């Protein structure tokens, strides 16, 4: 074939593939296809290939760039209330298996990882706290929430009810308003379980939006109405335990402490001294209160500071670490929530890690984390290697860790593989 014909054939093949892709993303309406405008948000729809082969069934989101979120690939599922109740039983049985006694404070439903796309459910002792982030799950709440309460009641778990934390900006992408408050099943809703209705309608004192949990032997107040996201970050549970093992006898600086979880684990693990730092005054006050909950032995070895770590760490480096910190914990919030800003986020991670490595004495310890799935494992480790080189130190890796198993990583869904936590000795 002449070179020009070969180029033309290649160009035509590319155009054909592009047309097929466009057709899959936005099929033309014909007599066999219901127009999207005729379907309400949250409708249950089948997804088929161009040849008509069944690919799965999911929830329609007309406002979102993700038009359909799959909930099953089984063509025989009927999507009755029993279907959703069965899926909830699977998620709860999984948590009881992998978390054991720690299931009293755990993530019960992790969105796509549990095939409940756009739904987060965290258990904090006697309360379930939810975030509903897709139109489909919003429409299914009477069925799913009623089934949740029924499953827990039948398992002997007494719950005050379900508290919704739908104060999330991304709901606007689904055409949903932001709301918060105790959930109550619509009266006369046939889709919700009777036991679920009774439990949901009795949330005790609705003004009380704080509950207590115990994690790794550490006690916490959880303000699920006002804390970040659902009130407490459960995914670092076992990473905190790993930090506690290294903390004995050390002077610890916990940066971005939030409500004090890493700091408290370090203090309870036998640290000589722990300074908990956060930019939020309300977070520091909650961390201080959590320290009081754990007794004078813990509180007497802790200090609490409101500061921006981008100011604090350079100052500690400049002053040559006068407080002799030999263990630094970096657990910042996600520096990026999109691919567009990954470059600036990487510079932020590199800055704080470089400073920490410069501050630590040889033989000191570093725990460093990232909760952004856009900052993938390889990029995060490459950044750490470059920071170490610039700081003139070598890193001896102790462990590379991820999120607790109540936040399962599902292969093929990269968004579920988001948390990085690496422990090093600086040598």
Whole-number Å distance between alpha carbons of 358 and 360: 6
Catalytic residue among 255, 369, 371, 421: 371
Whole-number Å distance between alpha carbons of 186 and 182: 13
Pairing type for strands 68-72 and 105-110 reads: unpaired
3-state secondary structure the chain: CCHHHHHHHHHHHHHHHHHHHHHHHCCCCCCCCCCHHHCCCCCEEEEECCCCCEEEEEEECCCCCCCEEEEECCCCCCCCHHHHHHHHHHHHHHHHHHHHHHHHEEEEEEHHHHCCCCEEEEEECCEEEEEECCHHHHHHHHHHHHHHHHHHHHCCCCCCEEEEEECCHHHHHHCCCCEEEECCCCCCCCCCCHHHHHHHCCCCCCCCCEEEEEECCEEEEEECCCCCCCCCCCCCHHHHHHHHHHHCCCEEEEECCCCCHHHHHHHHCCCCEEEEEECCHHHHHHHHHHHHHCCHHHHCCEEEEECCHHHHHHHHHHCCCCCCCCEEEECCCCCCCCHHHHHHHHHHHHHHHHHHHHHCCCCCEEEEEECCCCCCHHHHHHHHHHHHHHHCCCEEEEEEECCCCCCCCCCCCHHHCCCEEEEEEEC
**Catalytic residue check, 369:** no
Among residues 146, 123, 129, 155, the alpha carbon closest in space to that of 196 is found at 146
Among residues 358, 280, 366, 294, the alpha carbon closest in space to that of 331 is found at 366
Cβ-based burial of 121 (10 A; exposed 0-12, middle 13-18, buried ≥19): buried
Measured distance between the N- and C-terminal CA atoms of the chain, rounded to whole angstroms: 62
Sign of the C-alpha dihedral, residues 221, 226, 231, 232? negative
Catalytic residues: 371
């Amino acid at each position: 074939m002449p070179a020009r014909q070969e180029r033309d054939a290649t160009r035509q093949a590319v155009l054909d593939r592009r047309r097929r892709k466009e057709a899959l993303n936005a099929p033309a309406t014909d007599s066999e296809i219901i127009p999207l405008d005729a379907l309400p948000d949250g409708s249950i729809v089948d997804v088929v290939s161009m040849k008509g082969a069944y690919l799965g069934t999911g929830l329609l989101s007309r406002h979102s760039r993700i038009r359909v979120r799959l909930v099953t690939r089984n063509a025989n599922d009927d999507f009755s209330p029993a279907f959703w109740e069965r899926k909830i039983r699977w998620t709860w049985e999984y948590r009881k298996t992998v978390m054991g006694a720690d299931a009293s404070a755990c993530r019960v439903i992790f969105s796509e990882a549990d095939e409940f796309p756009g739904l987060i459910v965290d258990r904090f002792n006697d309360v379930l706290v939810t975030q509903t982030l897709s139109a489909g799950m919003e429409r299914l709440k009477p069925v799913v929430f009623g089934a949740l309460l029924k499953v827990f009641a039948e398992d002997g778990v007494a719950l005050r009810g379900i508290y919704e934390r739908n104060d999330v900006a991304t709901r606007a992408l689904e055409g949903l308003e932001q709301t918060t408050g105790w959930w109550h099943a619509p009266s006369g809703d046939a889709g919700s379980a009777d036991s679920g209705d009774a439990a949901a309608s009795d949330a005790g004192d609705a003004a009380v939006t704080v509950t207590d949990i115990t994690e790794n032997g550490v006690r916490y107040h959880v303000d699920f109405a006002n804390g970040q996201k659902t009130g407490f970050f459960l995914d670092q549970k076992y990473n905190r335990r790993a930090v506690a093992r290294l903390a004995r006898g050390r002077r610890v600086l916990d940066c971005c402490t939030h409500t004090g979880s890493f700091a408290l684990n370090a203090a309870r693990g036998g640290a000589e001294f722990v300074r908990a730092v956060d930019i939020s005054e309300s977070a520091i006050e909650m961390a201080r209160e959590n320290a009081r909950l754990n007794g004078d032995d813990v509180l007497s070895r802790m200090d609490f500071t409101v500061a921006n770590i981008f100011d604090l760490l350079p100052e500690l480096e400049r002053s040559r670490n006068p407080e002799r910190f030999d263990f630094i914990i970096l657990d910042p919030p996600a520096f990026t929530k999109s691919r567009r800003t990954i470059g600036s986020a990487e510079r932020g991670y590199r800055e704080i890690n470089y400073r920490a490595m410069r501050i630590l004495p040889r033989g000191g310890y570093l725990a460093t984390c990232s909760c952004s799935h856009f900052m993938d494992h390889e990029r995060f480790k490459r950044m750490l290697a470059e920071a170490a080189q610039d700081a003139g130190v070598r890193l001896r890796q102790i462990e590379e860790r991820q999120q607790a198993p109540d936040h399962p990583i599902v292969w093929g869904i990269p968004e579920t593989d988001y948390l990085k936590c690496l422990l090093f000795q600086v040598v």
